[in-house]
Amino acid sequence: MSIETAAQRKATILAEALPYIQRFHGKTIVIKYGGNAMTEEALKLQFARDVVLLKLVGINPVVVHGGGPQIGDFLKRVGKQSEFVQGMRVTDRETMDIVEMVLGGLVNKEIVSLINQQGGRAVGLSGKDGGFIRARRLKVKGSAGDSEWLDIGQVGEVERIDPEIVSLLDSRDFIPVIAPIGEGSDGEAYNINADLVAGNLAQTLKAEKLVLLTNTQGVLDKRGNLLTGLTAAEVQGLIADGTIYGGMLPKIDCALRAVCNGVSTAHIIDGRVPHALLLEVLTDAGVGTLIKGG
């Protein structure tokens, strides 16, 4: 293939991004960042470039990250045993300190630095900053089905999000990168599931898209084939008939709530694919499952 032709192919592909940039220009996209995309070097780099590119072409990315594995590693290192209840880590105050240190001090700043290295200007936030994520203790029912509540410590849910600090950064050249930690009215820190924070934030910011980067292909049907587009109603059917189950359930729940509360579309995409974010937003190549309201 001659150089000329390769160049023209490039140009054609760039030009094909035009309608997508037009559609999402000036809009906000909340991205839950986690899984392999957050641990494999090449994927990390590509993710950072994708985020910077979106910002430059006039789309406002807001990144919410997880960090469960990193927390687990560090707890092990300091010789702290982790106990889990219904998939959630029982989080005493000492564990919560470790959570804040790992998420806010290490993971968050690594992502910030990665984006900065690509020419972006990321600013890391925890929900304590400007008190913007107000949290409350998550109430968990015992599995025995009786009315007793389990105490799993500083695990929280979102009570209210004050979008001012995020919007302020958004409206400038800055890219907000958010650690999913909330602050109770009493000043206590709470560890919140990152999908939940991303979903809530997408609703509060009236985002165009909620994108959940996962280590799966997306939502699969019973024969294991990818379902590329689903309505809220179809999703509920798939939950009812057991097609969607297990670890996908909480993610699908965040997605559903978002599209039922003003977010145009939610996406459960495969973060293991290089440039998954860019493909999802700027091309017609779907890399997972799109969910829309109605």
User: What's the min distance (Å) between Cβ of 261 and a second copy?
Assistant: 26
Tokens in use for 56? 């430059």
Nearer to a second copy, 52 or 161 (CB): 52
Nearer to a second copy, 34 or 182 (CB): 182
- What tokens does 83 get? 């106990």
Helix then strand count (H, E) for the chain reads 11, 16
- Is 86 a binding residue for a second copy by CB under 8 A? The answer is no
21 forms part of the interface with a second copy (CB under 8 A): yes
SS3 136: strand
Who's near 91: CB < 8 A, 6+ residues apart? 99, 152, 153, 154, 155, 191
- Spatial distance between the Cα atoms of 159 and 177, rounded to a whole number of angstroms: 20
Phi-psi category of residue 149: left, alpha or beta, with phi > 0 → left and psi -120 to 50 → alpha: beta
Q: Which of 43, 194, 287, 290 binds a second copy (CB under 8 A)?
A: 287
User: How many C-beta neighbours within 10 Å does residue 214 have?
Assistant: 24
Q: How far is the CB of 46 from a second copy (least distance, A)?
A: 7
Q: Check binding of 42 to a second copy (CB under 8 A).
A: no
The answer to whether residue 29 forms part of the interface with a second copy (CB under 8 A) is no
Q: Is 130 in the site for a second copy (CB under 8 A)?
A: yes
Q: What distance in Å separates the CA atoms of residue 43 and residue 220, rounded to the nearest whole number?
A: 23
The span from the CA of 266 to the CA of 269, in Å, is 10
Distance between CA atoms of residues 291 and 266, nearest Å = 5
d(CA 223, CA 219): 11
Q: Is 229 in the site for a second copy (CB under 8 A)?
A: no
Between residue 88 and residue 117, which ones bind a second copy under the rule CB under 8 A? 97, 100-106, 108-109, 112-114, 116-117
Compute CA 198 distance to the chain's CA centroid, rounded to the nearest angstrom.
Answer: 5
Please tell me whether residue 36 binds a second copy under the rule CB under 8 A. Answer: no
Could you say whether residue 129 binds a second copy (CB under 8 A)? yes
Selected binder of a second copy within 44, 121, 136, 292 (CB under 8 A): 121
Stretch that binds a second copy, among 27-35, 153-161, 222-230, 283-291 (CB under 8 A): 283-291
The label of the residue with tokens 């898209």 reads 209
Q: Which is nearer to a second copy, 18 or 249 (CB)?
A: 18
Q: How far is the CB of 251 from a second copy (least distance, A)?
A: 22
Binding residue (CB under 8 A) for a second copy from 279, 288, 289, 290: 279
57 near a second copy (CB under 8 A): yes
Q: How far apart are CA 270 and CA 292, in angstroms?
A: 18
Least distance from a second copy to the Cβ atom of residue 14, Å: 6
Q: Which of residues 174-203 bind a second copy (CB under 8 A)?
A: 174, 181, 183, 187, 189
